[in-house]
């Protein structure tokens, strides 16, 4: 999305084309969870582990999209967009957007209008649906708070304190299963002792 914005700002791409390419890129980003099923190191994991890790990636990708586009749009679009009824009305602001990097906020907020004009014409139904972005961000935050270590150990081998002692305190044998993203799955009846994970390759 940032590359498309830069190409638009310097005049390489037009308003509509740059916005549409950026949105297609976001569509790919929002489907990045499918990569979990394709990674060779995930072969042999149970379906529960695969689905869990895919869900974590999906939630994070949507949360970032909510935080970077939808929430700013909900907060500012009622004050930024006025008398915009067609795509030509949006394109007419091209000179304003290219006038300064600071004006590129307008391109970010208006980019979705290239496929849906409801984002710039004060459509109350669309606006109400986008309020869900706040709920989604809060839900992901709380879910990751409950689901201990959702992504960290599989990549860094570090605990939350930042230490990296190799093999640290371990869970009981029946609870020491680690998924592809380094998430502990505690088996029923296992001890609930807090533990960290040794560095994995």
Share of the chain above pLDDT 90, in %: 30
What is residue 94's predicted lDDT score, i.e. its pLDDT?
93
Question: Burial, 145: exposed, middle or buried (Cβ in 10 Å; 0-12, 13-18, 19+)?
Answer: exposed
* Segments making up each domain of the chain, as ranges: 2-147, 149-201
Q: Are 158 and 127 in contact (CB under 8 A)?
A: no
Structure tokens at 147: 């689901």
**Is 50 exceeded by the pLDDT of residue 194?**
no
Structure tokens at 39: 């990674």
Interval 21-58: pLDDT, tens: 988 888 888 888 888 888 888 888 788 888 888 888 89
Question: If DSSP states are collapsed to H, E and C, what string results for 48-106?
Answer: HHHHHHHHHHHHHHHHHHHHHHHHHHHHHHHHHCCCCCCHHHHHCCHHHHHHCHHHHHH
pTM: 0.67
Please give the DSSP secondary-structure letter assigned to residue 134: H
Cβ count within 10 A of residue 196 = 21
Structure tokens at 108: 């970010």
Which has the higher per-residue pLDDT, 155 or 91? 91
Mean pLDDT of the chain: 77
Stretch 68-75: mean pLDDT, rounded?
92
């Amino acid at each position: 999305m940032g590359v498309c914005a830069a190409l638009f700002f310097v005049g390489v791409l037009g308003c509509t084309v740059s916005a549409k390419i950026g949105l297609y890129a976001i569509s790919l980003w929002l489907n990045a969870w499918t990569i979990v099923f394709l990674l060779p190191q995930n072969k042999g994991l149970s379906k529960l582990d695969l689905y869990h890790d895919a869900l974590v990636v999906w939630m994070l990708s949507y949360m970032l999209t909510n935080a970077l586009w939808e929430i700013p749009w909900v907060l500012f679009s009622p004050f930024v967009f006025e008398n915009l009824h067609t795509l030509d009305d949006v394109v007419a602001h091209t000179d304003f957007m290219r006038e300064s990097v600071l004006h590129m906020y307008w391109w970010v907020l208006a980019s979705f209008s290239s496929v849906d004009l409801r984002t710039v014409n004060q459509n109350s139904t669309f606006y109400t649906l986008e309020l869900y972005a706040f709920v989604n961000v809060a839900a992901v935050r709380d879910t990751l708070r409950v689901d201990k270590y959702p992504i960290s150990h599989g990549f860094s081998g570090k605990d939350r304190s930042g230490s990296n002692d190799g093999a640290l305190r371990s869970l009981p044998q029946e609870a020491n299963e680690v998924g592809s993203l380094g998430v502990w799955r505690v088996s029923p009846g296992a001890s609930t002792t807090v533990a960290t994970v040794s560095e994995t390759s």
